Chain A
Amino acid sequence: MAALFTPRANLFARLAIAGLVGSIAAVALATYGWDRSSYSTHQNLFVQQTVPFSHQHHVGSIGLDCRYCHTSVEKSAFAGIPPTSTCMNCHQQIWTEAKVLEPVRTSWQTNKPLIWQRVNRLPDFVFFNHSIHVNKGIGCVECHGRVDQMPLMYAAQPLTMQWCLDCHRDPAKHLRPADQVFSMEWQPPASKDKRKAQQAALMESYRIHPIGLTDCSTCHR
């Protein structure tokens, strides 16, 4: 009886297997890549707000300290979004007629809060605490980027668990002196030796012990 399949069928069979394996691998790689891309993490994506608040103007030009608005960053898990009264501290006196500030004035007068779209977000099952990070020498810039150069806010970092773990496994690289935590321009010493020495000294003075930083219950409760 004649063969059902010609020798060419072998080629198709092999191509099909290779194609199947290849497409599974492609899907896996695509998922892997997609998860880490800014499509997924929204890194560097400007977020539209009701009021186009410019950190570049308020922090960069005017020189407000982070804590003027984000008041509870040293004391609490949540850094704090300023109440309308903080905005009105200044804007009762300056730019009182500006159209962009209309929602702020309306909020003030009607006693209804302003609604902001959250830019730096973590899932609900992550319990992030600002105060411990800030008190242990992690600068605002480390995670939030150069806000003094942001006309509109965007997430400067991917904020994935992998990214958090990179620091939790080796915090030394991301530490800065306590008085520089809220500084925008601070850079670590240029020379590698000085940098390493400073990092070691900071690990010591902040009493940071990496063991335990990678315990699940540190962030997941």
Chain B
Amino acid sequence: MGNNAPPSRPFWRSLDELVGTPQFKAWAGDEFAPEMFEKKTRAEMGASRREMLKLAAASFVLASLASCSRAPEQELVPYVHTPAGRTPARPQHFATTLTRGRESIGVIVTSNEGRPTKIEGNPKHPASLGATDTFAQAEVLGLCDPDRSQAVLHNGQVATWDAFSRELQQRLSRNQQAQTIPSTAHLLTGPITSPSMLDQITRLMAKNPGMKWYVHDPTGEKAAIALRSMFKQDVQPSFDLAAARVIVSFDCDLFFGIPGSVRYARDFANGRRYTHGYSSVNRLYVAEPSPTITGSKADHRRIARPTELAGLIESLAARLGITGAVDTLKDDAWLNAVAKDLEANAGHSLIVAGTGWAVAAHHWVVQMNAALGNIGKTVSFRPSNAPPSIDLASLITDVNAHKVESLIILDTNPVYDAPAITTALANIPWIAHVGLYNDETAAKATWHVPMAHTLESWGDATAFDGTVSAIQPLIAPLYGGKSAMEVLANALGEPLKTDYDLVSDYWRRVIGPASFDAWWRTSLREGVMATPAPAAPVAFDQASIRGLQSTRLGQETLGTNEQLCAVFRPSSGTYDGRYANNAWLQELPDPITKLTWDNAAWLSEKTARHFNVTTGDVVRIRIASTTVEAPVIIVPGQAEFTVTLPLGYGRTKAGSVGSGVGFNAYAFDQEMAFDVELKPAGRTFPLAITQEHSTMEGRDIFRTLVANTPHEKEPKVVHLSMYPDRLQAKQQWGLSIDLTSCIGCNACTIACQSENNIPTVGKEEVKMGREMHWIRIDRYFEGEPEDPAIHHQPVPCMHCEQAPCEPVCPVGATQHSQDGLNEMVYNRCIGTRYCSNNCPYKVRRFNFFQYTDRETESRKISRNPQVTVRSRGVIEKCTYCVQRIRNAQIDADIDPDRPTQSVADGVIQTACQQVCPTQAIVFGDVADDSSRVSKLKALPHDYALLEELNTRPRTTYLAEVRNPNPEIPGPTTKESHA
């Protein structure tokens, strides 16, 4: 299909593009506009072009002399004793676990000469299945962050670990000896899932009777409280999306940020994959006030303000027969269809509500799941077996009652994300803070101890479904950090125990000394512990509900429909703020807004017009008695009069990358989210948004289909070409991307950055369109600006068979290999950028400046030695992970048992493929009809981008398939492409 037919439903990337403002047209037309460089006009630039030519002529002559000299002298430094199992230049792989609050993902880390360089998911770990999220990928950068805390501090002065250890033990033993009951020393941590650390805490609390354990989770406390009230104990929910045919989410971002989200994305994508010809496809309904990636995959997304959402939950509960629920939306077609669909799939359905929602919402949701028979099938509740903990708010009460003399804070930052605590902390005589950074909380502590990074520690963690896995270090602590367990050991009076001793001693006790050694070795190798029979899931007893006050989700807590209300969310960039100093994450565009390096207040277009603001205008937001200034960003699909405030920015002591970036939404009291006022502040703030870069101007880019409707494959028109067919290698490489599976999470982008040593460029350069990501996710809206569908399309290099970039390079720096790769040779590139100019997909990135950090020593350890580190002035682009291809080919060829010159299908996985939670990307041999990628490309809905240009890309897409409910009227019932 050419671009002759007018688009049936226009796809658009931004409101400016939709409307076609004159500024947008000018911007889009001029990719390398000189306005971007040093803000000069064309007239001013005129003279400098001549200068440039003069310099070019001179430098050409000089370059010829300098270019061909021998490489500088190098030293070879062998070992004194080679460490066991290490072959030079061959990476080793170690299984460990990465945690983030209650999330734990089993990973396998690639270690080059003892340096961890890349994180992959552990296929044997149920929370990973081989994939990870963006935060796990970024840990490699966090490990070598030079801003990490490097010294023990006592009142801001450098001190020693021994001094701290002595004082800690003294403080606690004084407590015990004086028989002070209850203890005035307490513990404050984030959520902990580590069995060995929980055991330590139990023992610590036993040794110090009356010691309280405060647990602070900046996101997600309400759900925990609700579940505790219903089940009378701490339980962890886990969902089985593979068993669910119908999923209804009330503002729960299943595919981002909650424990198990990587697995949930995989199970969801498996429920709508091509393998069964889409004959039995799951269905996702999402009702949310603000767009999320889960909402973007919904077959029916309903925009609902928090008040409306509350009404939806309760009305649905009433329809499903839950006593006490009142149906206030009797004629709602959407709700009718949803209820019918749920009842038709009782036992195979799932209803979830977001973790930030009021306790009452979770009560209704659990009861609905129980009524549908889903408990034990698609949702189960696991007892968490943790010692009793208290939430942070009680700490303030206890401090005021003078019950807290000493506080040990482990790996949490309440001064930043729960600022109400700050005055209370000032009244505690002795605070010890253990953390990765000398952050906001460390500044208020008596002692600060640098914490060992997860990649430097021993430990263990429990995943969303109860699977326990070990944490093993990849490298000795770079900065003399101590793990939280070592600090607790000191508190327990066991100062000489290393974290290895602590973890292995605990498991030796649990498993029994006889079989421990073999079990321990297996656990470390597999990355999953075979623990003694886990506790049975907790059954839900309807009777337990009866005693509860079924608080209605009343208007008084959620505001009225006419009044502005606020929604707080963890951000895609920093989560709850802990990753603020991670440049990879800061520069990763938010999946919905495509905003980098900042957070902004999300408003719908109508609401923004009402307040007379637009994207980039700064507004003053008042919630209760706190006012914060924030820039606005207009988000299509946002509910009216609802402002979303992403959490995790506005930090003051995050490090050189993260401090001062964005505004701090934690300053607000989230309980008062209905008392919101917004006023323009009269100034603007520049926002670095990537969405408008490289627009594609109405061409046939994205295609969607409806499941189970007949679709004919469009006949492939092969245009004649004057270039000879020249590729003679037996295996030809290609890639297939399934748009049905892609959730837009950006894991591929950051995995590629980690694998290929891609630099970050900073906010100013991103504003000029110079972000260096080799694979980007383009986000398209479809339909009406108030309620659009949202689509994600990953765009790597297409590796065109007739690549337009190849013939135009004056020095031959980009060639075509015999196995179909479009190669990039950095040492030949002289930076004319003609190739990037000619690329219709705009996937070639240029190093305009020395973006790669060559100075910072610690950064050098995490670079992948298999990939060149590029300097200023060269073009780079996706290579289909050619280092992985070549290494796999060599390994297959030199295999002592079965040398072969054809690498088996599935052995080579590109970095983007390997990390993708939904397995949307498949790489393989397109010359082999039996390979997975060939089978995908043979499907009728496979298509290439800009086919009419005859570039013959090796990267093709499978059109997105949705499964709308025919009983719900709306535009999603038609097939469409732009």
Residues of A at the B interface (CB closer than 8 Å) are 31, 35, 40-42, 72, 74-78, 80-85, 107-108, 111-118, 121-125, 127, 129, 131-132, 135-136, 207, 209, 211-212, 215-218, 220-221
Considering the complex, give the chain B residue whose CB is closest to the CB of A47.
Answer: B73
- Contact status of A131 and B883, CB under 8 A, knowing A211-B728, A220-B825: no
Whether A85 lies near B82 (C-beta < 8 A) is yes
Whether B76 lies near A217 (C-beta < 8 A) is no
Q: 24 interchain pairs (CB within 8 A)?
A: A41-B70, A74-B894, A75-B87, A76-B90, A83-B81, A84-B78, A85-B80, A112-B80, A116-B78, A117-B75, A121-B71, A121-B74, A123-B827, A125-B826, A131-B890, A132-B894, A135-B899, A209-B729, A212-B818, A215-B817, A215-B823, A217-B882, A220-B825, A221-B882
B904 interface residue per 8 A CB criterion = no
Mark each residue of chain B from 385 to 406: 1 if its CB lies under 8 Å from any CB of chain A, else 0. 0000000000000000000000
Residues of B within 8 A of A76 (CB): 87-90
From residue 70 to 113 of chain B, which have CB atoms closer than 8 A to chain A?
70-71, 73-82, 87-90
List 15 other contacts, CB 8 Å, given A75-B894, A76-B87, A113-B79. Answer: A76-B89, A80-B78, A83-B78, A84-B81, A85-B82, A114-B77, A116-B76, A131-B890, A131-B894, A135-B899, A209-B901, A212-B819, A215-B818, A217-B823, A221-B866
Whether B88 lies near A80 (C-beta < 8 A) is yes
Residues of B within 8 A of A (CB-CB), count: 43
Mark each residue of chain B from 876 to 902: 1 if its CB lies under 8 Å from any CB of chain A, else 0. 000100110010001001100001010
Mark each residue of chain B from 891 to 922: 1 if its CB lies under 8 Å from any CB of chain A, else 0. 00110000101000000000000000000000
Give, as a whole number of angstroms, the nearest-CB distance from B550 to chain A.
63
Complex-state Cα separation, A124 to B871, whole angstroms: 12
B621 interface residue per 8 A CB criterion = no
B65 interface residue per 8 A CB criterion = yes
Residues of A within 8 A of B65 (CB): 31
- Contact status of A35 and B68, CB under 8 A, knowing A72-B87, A76-B89, A212-B819: yes
- Contact status of A217 and B87, CB under 8 A, knowing A84-B80, A212-B818: no
| Prevailing SS type, chain A contact patch | loop
Complex-state Cα separation, A72 to B89, whole angstroms: 9
Whether A31 lies near B64 (C-beta < 8 A) is yes
Whether A107 lies near B80 (C-beta < 8 A) is yes
Complex-state Cα separation, A74 to B891, whole angstroms: 11
Residues of A within 8 A of B818 (CB): 211-212, 215
Complex-state Cα separation, A219 to B827, whole angstroms: 12
Whether B886 lies near A212 (C-beta < 8 A) is no
Complex-state Cα separation, A65 to B79, whole angstroms: 20
Whether B823 lies near A216 (C-beta < 8 A) is yes
Residues of B within 8 A of A42 (CB): 70
Residues of B within 8 A of A107 (CB): 80
Whether A115 lies near B75 (C-beta < 8 A) is yes
Complex-state Cα separation, A43 to B79, whole angstroms: 28
Give, as a whole number of angstroms, the nearest-CB distance from B865 to chain A.
9
Residues of A within 8 A of B160 (CB): none
Most chain B CB atoms below 10 A, which of A41, A107, A216: A216
B165 interface residue per 8 A CB criterion = no
Residues of B within 8 A of A124 (CB): 71, 868
Residues of B within 8 A of A35 (CB): 68-69
B821 interface residue per 8 A CB criterion = yes
Residues of B within 8 A of A85 (CB): 79-82
Whether A125 lies near B868 (C-beta < 8 A) is yes
B659 interface residue per 8 A CB criterion = no
Whether A72 lies near B90 (C-beta < 8 A) is yes
Please list the 6 inter-chain residue pairs (A to B) with the smallest Cβ-Cβ separation, ordered nearest first: A78-B89, A215-B817, A83-B79, A81-B78, A212-B818, A135-B894
Most chain A CB atoms below 10 A, which of B74, B88, B821: B88
Whether B68 lies near A40 (C-beta < 8 A) is yes
Considering the complex, give the chain A residue whose CB is closest to the CB of B891.
Answer: A131
- Contact status of A217 and B64, CB under 8 A, knowing A81-B76, A85-B81, A125-B826: no
Whether A212 lies near B817 (C-beta < 8 A) is yes
Whether B886 lies near A217 (C-beta < 8 A) is yes
Whether B894 lies near A114 (C-beta < 8 A) is no
Considering the complex, give the chain A residue whose CB is closest to the CB of B890.
Answer: A132
| Prevailing SS type, chain B contact patch | loop
Residues of B within 8 A of A207 (CB): 901
Give, as a whole number of angstroms, the nearest-CB distance from A41 to chain B.
6
Considering the complex, give the chain B residue whose CB is closest to the CB of A28.
Answer: B64
- Contact status of A72 and B70, CB under 8 A, knowing A113-B78, A216-B825: no
Complex-state Cα separation, A88 to B68, whole angstroms: 40
B539 interface residue per 8 A CB criterion = no
Residues of B within 8 A of A108 (CB): 80
Mark each residue of chain B from 818 to 859: 1 if its CB lies under 8 Å from any CB of chain A, else 0. 110101011100000000000000000000000000000000
Which residue of A72, A112, A117, A209 contacts B73 across the interface (Cβ within 8 Å)? A117
Considering the complex, give the chain B residue whose CB is closest to the CB of A32.
Answer: B68
Whether A118 lies near B76 (C-beta < 8 A) is yes
Complex-state Cα separation, A131 to B899, whole angstroms: 13
Complex-state Cα separation, A82 to B89, whole angstroms: 14
Complex-state Cα separation, A136 to B899, whole angstroms: 11
Give, as a whole number of angstroms, the nearest-CB distance from B405 to chain A.
46
Whether A122 lies near B80 (C-beta < 8 A) is no
Residues of B within 8 A of A77 (CB): 89-90
B867 interface residue per 8 A CB criterion = yes
Which residue of A82, A136, A216 contacts B815 across the interface (Cβ within 8 Å)? A216
Complex-state Cα separation, A21 to B509, whole angstroms: 87
Whether A118 lies near B73 (C-beta < 8 A) is yes
Give, as a whole number of angstroms, the nearest-CB distance from A220 to chain B.
5
From residue 789 to 822 of chain B, which have CB atoms closer than 8 A to chain A?
815, 817-819, 821
Complex-state Cα separation, A9 to B70, whole angstroms: 45
Give, as a whole number of angstroms, the nearest-CB distance from A122 to chain B.
7
Complex-state Cα separation, A80 to B901, whole angstroms: 26
Give, as a whole number of angstroms, the nearest-CB distance from A146 to chain B.
21
Most chain B CB atoms below 10 A, which of A35, A108, A111, A127: A127
Whether A218 lies near B88 (C-beta < 8 A) is no
Residues of A within 8 A of B867 (CB): 221
Whether B81 lies near A122 (C-beta < 8 A) is no
Whether A113 lies near B868 (C-beta < 8 A) is no
Give, as a whole number of angstroms, the nearest-CB distance from A212 to chain B.
4
Complex-state Cα separation, A82 to B81, whole angstroms: 9
Which residue of B75, B90, B729, B866 contacts A212 across the interface (Cβ within 8 Å)? B729
Residues of A within 8 A of B899 (CB): 135
Residues of B within 8 A of A118 (CB): 73-76
Complex-state Cα separation, A217 to B886, whole angstroms: 8
Complex-state Cα separation, A84 to B866, whole angstroms: 26
Complex-state Cα separation, A42 to B890, whole angstroms: 30
Give, as a whole number of angstroms, the nearest-CB distance from A93 to chain B.
18
Considering the complex, give the chain B residue whose CB is closest to the CB of A112.
Answer: B80
Complex-state Cα separation, A76 to B867, whole angstroms: 16
Complex-state Cα separation, A216 to B806, whole angstroms: 13
From residue 23 to 64 of chain B, which have CB atoms closer than 8 A to chain A?
64
Whether B894 lies near A218 (C-beta < 8 A) is no
Which residue of B71, B73, B78, B821 contacts A217 across the interface (Cβ within 8 Å)? B821
Give, as a whole number of angstroms, the nearest-CB distance from B68 to chain A.
4
Complex-state Cα separation, A75 to B75, whole angstroms: 22
Residues of B within 8 A of A212 (CB): 728-729, 817-819
Considering the complex, give the chain B residue whose CB is closest to the CB of A78.
Answer: B89
Residues of B within 8 A of A83 (CB): 78-82
Considering the complex, give the chain B residue whose CB is closest to the CB of A218.
Answer: B886
Most chain A CB atoms below 10 A, which of B78, B82, B899: B78
Give, as a whole number of angstroms, the nearest-CB distance from A181 to chain B.
12
